[in-house]
Structure 1
Amino acid sequence: MSNKETLLSVDDIEVFYGETQALFGVSLDVYEGELVTMIGGNGAGKTTTLRTISGLLSPRVGSITFKGDGIAGEGPDEIVKLGISQAPEGRMLFSGLTVEENLYAGAYHRSDEAAVEEDLEMVYDYFPQLPDLLDHNAEDLSGGQQQMLTIGRALMSDPDLLLMDEPSLGLAPQLVQTIGGIVEDLRDDGQTILLVEQNAELALDISDRGYVVQTGEVVASGPTEELRDTDAVRSAYFGQ
């Protein structure tokens, strides 16, 4: 992937919750057009890494570079404007707003109305269920529909980098495959994605490269076909 431009570079970040250290020198790179996954068990530090990239947390040590500029310490609103959007774990939708209102909320910082409408149609192409649900409140949707709306809302910010945190969590097996296919389609259409996923099989199937995270450290990385049968993956998930 070295011939592609590095879009995101996380370099040796240490992150704390109060005095409790959560990340111990995590480093990773994402190149333009890639689908990169971070896998690991519960509490490994995957979500903390995404939260730090998206500005919800600040690293005490280390740097984060996006499109060549340092962004560590920038606030979440500024990070979105710079071109990073997150589909968070637990969906975090505006439950009292309609599907349509949630989608437009994703584009709150954009002023080109024609481009916003174009992206709305793109979201409907990826998620054909959504146009029939526009007047429904987000809280009334099924889990799968909420996940589709979460990803759609993130896409409405027109991100250069899409962060996805556990998109398969709590979904029926058939829906897991559907969401996985949509994530692949997004990558194939040119969307750069950093995916955090506890479903290692799904993540390794659809991603180009992966990082295995355990207790706040990257313990293995490489092309996903090479990671699949490594001791690091077995250790991260099964304690072997």
Structure 2
Amino acid sequence: MADLPVRIVLLRPRNPENLGAAARAMKNFGLSDWAIAALGTHDFAAARRVAVHAEDLLDRPRLVASLDEAVADCAWVVGTSSRAVRGKRRLAPDAVAREALERAAEGRTAIVFGDERSGLTNEEVHRCHDLSAIPTGEAQPSVNLAQAVLLYAYEVRRAALAAAPARPAKAPEGATDAELERVEDALREALRTAGFLAGPERHAVRDLAAALRRARLSRREARLWLAALRTLGRG
């Protein structure tokens, strides 16, 4: 099976056994792309004891400093959180997997997991394009990090196996997260110049930018938006 277009992103993982178990889960279901931001442990010996037959993933982790760096080249960023946030969809894991494959021609999907103790911060939740949560029972809603990675990896694999072999015509390449961030910055500047943002920004720019993200802009469209907004901003 071809490389699956999904990157697992772990933020501030502290437990080395979780690293090893997450690597094993990825290998189980055919995922190899992962990024670790602000790694909280360097006990790779303990991680290797758990990463049975997935030691090669531990030998080449992509270590980054921030969520921004981890997802800059991804077209769709999904945060795992049970919170409800206005303007962001909340998808079940299987829906994330299906849409990730549908978006494969546009670019990679990042599935983002927060640290073991507190998950994603509010800022990180807002940074993601959409959200997803595992529908757990009320008696124990919290899922171990490595177990959560396994469940999403399983759903991606299942969706890939169920997908029809025929693919539609090549879709335009989707705008990356970094390109969408530049569009949002240009939008903010244009609105300030026009007097729309006379006071504190609050949620206006974020909500407007969220609508652009939902539109799934192509790279060409993102460049056009950026040029137009920068022209307006100079007005």
| TM-score bracket for the superposition, by shorter chain length | under 0.3
Higher strand share: 1
User: Which protein has the bigger helix share?
Assistant: 2
TM-score with structure 1 setting the length: 0.27
Which has more radius of gyration?
2
**TM-score between both structures, scaled by the size of structure 2:** 0.27
